[in-house]
C-alpha cells in the first residue's frame, strides 16, 4: 500500500494529532471507551477518530469498532468532518457522523476546546452474526458526551433549574442550590449557552455493509430487495445473488436506479469510454503479466497491440461504443448478457445515487478508478492482491487521472451533463507514515 500512501490515495486528508494537549484528550477518550491508551507522540485520525497508527500500535484495527456493528467515535475537532472514514463497515456511517457534527457544530466547537467528545453510533442490533439480523437495523442514533460528562451534567443542571423556577420555596432549598452551583462550575451557564446535542437518529432503509461478504439493502424503492455475494434466507424481502447478472440488471432498471454513462456522441463521452477502456486493459494486462515497467500511454498502447489476445470481451465492447461516440461506427447493442454491460451504467440522480454507484463498481471491478472512487474497501482488497507491476500502474494512473482534481473527475464521470475533460496534474498529499 506504500504507493497509494505516497500519492495521497490512502490515508490522505486525515486530521493530524501532534500537540501534547490533543494527544492527552485523545487518550482520555480512548481509555474511556476501550480502557487502552496510546504511547505515540504523533498520529492521524479519521472522521470517527480512528487512527491507523494507533490501530497498528495496539495490533487491533477494530479498536473503535468491536464486532463491526456499533462504531465508537472520538472527536477532537469539528475539522474532522473533512477527513475520510477508514475501515468502513456500513456505507451510511460517514454521512451520519458528518450530519451529527453539522447539527451540533457550535456545541462541539466549545466542548472540544477543553476535552474530547466520545460516543457511539448505536444500531438497533448489537450483533450481525446471523445475516438476517442486518434487516433488523432500522435506525442509528448518535450518543456522545465529553470524557468528564459535561453533556450529562448539563442535562441534570437544566432539570434542577426548572425545579428552582417552578417550586415555590426553592430559594430556601440549600441542597438544591448547592447542587446547581456544583454542576454549573463544570458546565457553565446552560441558560445562556446550552450544552446539549440535538438528538441524531437516522433512518436506515438503504445501506451497504461489509459483513457476510458484502450486502446491499434497498428498502425505500418500489421493488425492495437485498443483493448479496452470499445469499441468505430473509423473511418478507427478495434476496438476489450478485452473480445473477440478469436479475440484478432487472432490479436496477425496474427501480430506475441507473442510466447510461454516456447518452450522446461527443468529446466528453468519448473521453469517458476511452479512459474506462484503458483501465480495463491495464487490469487485464497486469494480471496476465504483460504490463511494461514504464508507465506511459504509448507503452500501454503498444502492450495492447502486442498482447491483444489477453484483452477481455469488455474491452472490445467498450471499443465499439467508443467508435460510435467518435462517429466511426454503428451503435453496439450491449445488454445484461454482455460482460461490459455494468461498465456502461452509472447511478441515476437521487438519494440512492452513492449506494447504486457502489454496487455498480462492485459489479464492474476491473475499472480500478471507479472502484477507488465508489467502493474503497473492495478497491483496497483487490489492490493488495494485485501483481506488483499492476500496483505501480494503478497508483500512477490514479495520481494523475483522479487525485489531481477529485471533484472534477467525479463530475466528469457521474454528473448528469458532462461538458469537459479532466485535467491531469499530479498532486501528492502527505499522510500517516510519510
- Lowest mean pLDDT of 20-24, 73-77, 400-404, name the range: 400-404
Q: Where does a domain end: 85, 120, 155? A: 120
Q: Are residues 335 and 233 in the same domain?
A: no
Does residue 350 sit within a domain? yes
- Lowest mean pLDDT of 52-66, 197-211, 336-350, name the range: 197-211
Does residue 427 sit within a domain? no
Name the nearest CA neighbour of 235 among 132, 88, 379, 318.
Answer: 132
Average pLDDT over residues 381-394: 96
Q: Are residues 267 and 338 in the same domain?
A: yes
Q: Are residues 340 and 365 in the same domain?
A: yes
Does residue 198 sit within a domain? no
Does residue 160 sit within a domain? no
pLDDT at residue 156, rounded to an integer: 65
Q: Are residues 103 and 134 in the same domain?
A: no
Q: How many domains does the chain have?
A: 3
Does residue 186 sit within a domain? no
Q: Are residues 109 and 58 in the same domain?
A: yes
pLDDT at residue 178, rounded to an integer: 72
419: confidence class by pLDDT, cuts 50, 70, 90: very low
* Average pLDDT score over the chain: 87
Average pLDDT over residues 244-259: 96
Q: Are residues 232 and 270 in the same domain?
A: no
Boundaries of domain holding 80: 2-120
Give the number of other Cβ atoms within 10 Å of residue 421's Cβ. 15
- Distance (Å, rounded) from C-alpha 98 to C-alpha 83? 10
Give the number of other Cβ atoms within 10 Å of residue 42's Cβ. 11
Q: Where are the alpha helices (DSSP H) in 35-167?
A: 52-58, 93-103, 105-111, 150-166
Q: Are residues 22 and 96 in the same domain?
A: yes
Residue 301 has phi, psi (to 5 degrees) of -60, -40
- Distance (Å, rounded) from C-alpha 201 to C-alpha 324? 49
Q: Are residues 222 and 103 in the same domain?
A: no
Q: Are residues 129 and 64 in the same domain?
A: no
- Which SS3 state, helix, strand or coil, does residue 146 take? strand
- Distance (Å, rounded) from C-alpha 119 to C-alpha 112? 13
Does residue 425 sit within a domain? no
C-alpha cell belonging to residue 223 = 421493488
Q: Are residues 265 and 394 in the same domain?
A: yes
Does residue 158 sit within a domain? no
The more confidently predicted of residues 193 and 17 is 17
pLDDT at residue 173, rounded to an integer: 65
Q: Are residues 222 and 325 in the same domain?
A: no
pTM of the model: 0.86
The more confidently predicted of residues 121 and 106 is 121
Average pLDDT over residues 412-420: 64
Does 426 score more than 80 pLDDT?
A: no
Does residue 251 sit within a domain? no
> Which residues pair with residue 347 across a beta bridge?
258
pLDDT at residue 276, rounded to an integer: 94
Q: Are residues 115 and 131 in the same domain?
A: no
Average pLDDT over residues 332-349: 93
Amino acid at each position: 500500500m506504500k504507493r497509494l500512501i505516497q500519492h495521497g490515495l490512502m490515508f490522505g486528508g486525515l486530521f493530524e494529532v501532534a500537540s501534547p494537549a490533543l494527544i492527552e484528550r485523545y487518550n482520555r477518550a480512548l481509555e474511556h471507551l476501550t480502557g487502552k491508551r496510546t504511547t505515540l507522540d504523533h498520529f492521524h485520525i479519521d472522521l470517527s477518530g480512528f487512527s491507523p497508527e494507533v490501530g497498528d500500535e495496539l495490533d487491533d484495527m477494530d479498536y473503535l469498532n468491536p464486532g463491526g456493528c456499533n462504531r465508537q467515535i472520538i472527536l477532537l475537532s469539528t475539522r474532522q468532518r473533512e477527513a475520510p472514514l477508514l475501515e468502513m463497515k456500513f456505507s451510511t456511517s460517514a454521512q451520519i457522523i458528518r450530519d451529527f457534527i453539522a447539527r451540533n457544530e457550535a456545541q462541539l466547537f466549545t466542548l472540544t476546546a477543553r476535552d474530547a467528545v466520545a460516543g457511539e453510533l448505536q444500531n438497533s442490533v448489537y450483533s450481525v452474526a446471523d445475516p438476517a439480523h442486518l434487516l433488523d437495523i432500522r435506525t442509528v442514533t448518535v450518543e456522545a458526551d465529553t470524557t468528564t460528562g459535561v453533556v450529562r451534567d448539563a442535562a441534570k443542571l437544566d432539570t434542577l433549574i426548572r425545579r428552582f423556577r417552578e417550586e415555590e420555596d426553592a430559594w430556601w432549598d440549600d441542597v438544591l442550590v448547592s447542587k446547581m452551583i456544583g454542576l454549573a462550575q463544570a458546565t457553565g451557564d446552560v441558560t445562556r449557552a446550552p450544552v446539549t446535542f440535538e438528538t441524531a437518529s437516522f433512518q436506515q432503509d438503504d445501506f451497504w455493509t461489509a459483513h457476510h461478504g458484502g450486502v446491499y439493502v434497498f428498502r425505500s424503492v418500489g421493488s425492495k430487495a437485498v443483493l448479496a455475494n452470499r445469499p441468505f434466507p430473509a423473511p418478507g424481502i427478495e434476496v438476489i445473488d450478485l452473480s445473477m447478472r440478469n436479475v440484478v440488471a432487472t432490479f436496477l432498471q425496474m427501480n430506475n436506479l441507473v442510466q447510461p454513462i454516456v447518452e450522446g456522441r461527443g468529446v466528453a463521452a468519448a473521453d469517458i469510454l476511452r479512459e474506462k477502456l484503458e483501465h480495463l486493459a491495464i487490469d487485464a494486462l497486469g494480471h496476465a503479466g504483460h504490463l511494461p515497467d514504464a508507465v506511459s500511454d504509448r507503452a500501454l498502447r503498444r502492450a495492447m497491440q502486442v498482447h491483444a489476445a489477453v484483452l477481455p470481451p469488455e474491452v472490445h465492447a467498450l471499443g465499439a461504443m467508443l467508435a460510435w461516440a467518435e462517429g466511426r461506427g454503428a451503435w453496439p447493442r450491449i445488454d445484461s448478457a454482455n460482460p461490459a454491460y455494468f461498465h456502461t451504467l452509472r447511478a441515476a440522480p437521487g438519494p440512492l445515487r452513492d449506494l447504486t454507484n457502489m454496487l455498480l463498481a462492485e459489479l464492474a471491478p476491473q475499472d480500478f478508478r471507479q472502484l477507488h472512487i465508489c467502493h474503497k474497501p473492495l478497491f483496497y482488497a483487490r489492490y493488495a492482491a494485485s501483481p506488483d507491476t499492476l500496483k505501480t500502474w494503478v497508483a500512477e494512473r490514479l495520481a494523475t487521472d483522479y487525485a489531481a482534481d477529485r471533484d472534477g473527475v467525479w463530475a466528469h464521470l457521474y454528473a448528469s451533463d458532462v461538458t469537459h475533460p479532466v485535467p491531469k496534474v499530479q498532486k501528492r498529499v502527505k499522510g500517516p507514515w510519510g
